[in-house]
Amino acid sequence: MAAKPVAQSGMENFRKVRTSEEESPLPFPDLPPGVVEMKVKEGSKIRNLMSFAMAQMELKGSRQIVFSGCGRAVTKTITCVEIMKRKLGGLHQVTKVRYKTLLEVWENKDPLPGSAPQNLTVHKNVPSICILLSRDPLDPNQTGYQPPEPREAGEDPLSSSAKGLKRPPPPAREELLPKKLQVAGAGSPQGSGTRASLPDGHY
């Protein structure tokens, strides 16, 4: 007995042709003019994003940068922020979470003969995140503020200077021998073939 066809939602005759985000100002007051905003998309490559962002902060001397993403790009946005914080260090952070409206345009794949293609516009509210990173101090009382992260356990601020210190040379072989053997060895003629056995534990 043949299985009955599954009822479809009616969207099988439509295909998504365009997606756009509703424009909205950044949720950070008093941003300097020309601050760089990294708009992270679902298909964005993290390597490309970080190459551009690091160049802005290191080569061009930007003091602040904003990462933003919505929907499925939220996780990738957070990943980019964590990479930059680990690479640069000492960055103040403010995180704002909100909802954003996406506009999806769907086009009818099989229009009726003699009729114009029918389009549908779908409004979707999706979670959005905006993260401000700043070399300069920010207001610690504002919602979403995070101070610079402390150094990791293995990162001693004095370790860099200690790396240049030379390790003292190992002690001479005579210093490792018991005093009795040193005296006996000093009085023995060269090439006499006399052997001194070391106590257990001394090699």
The answer to whether residue 119 scores a pLDDT higher than 50 is yes
Q: Hey, which CATH number is domain 14-23+35-146, 3.40.50.720, 3.30.110.20, 3.40.190.10, 3.40.50.450?
A: 3.30.110.20
For the chain, what are the domain ranges? 14-23+35-146
Contact indicator for 27, 97 with CB cutoff of 8 Å: no
The answer to whether residue 193 scores a pLDDT higher than 60 is no
Exposure letters 1-28 (e unless 16+ CB within 10 A, then b): eeeeeeeeeeeeebeeeeeebeeeeebb
Alpha carbons 144 and 166: distance in angstroms, whole number: 46
pLDDT for 56: 95
Per residue in 42-86, pLDDT (tens digit) is 999 999 999 999 999 999 999 999 999 999 999 999 999 999 999
Per residue in 4-57, pLDDT (tens digit) is 443 445 677 888 888 888 888 999 988 988 899 999 999 999 999 999 999 999
Mean pLDDT, residues 93-100 taken together: 96
Per residue in 163-189, pLDDT (tens digit) is 333 444 444 554 445 554 444 444 444
Q: Model pTM greater than 0.85?
A: no
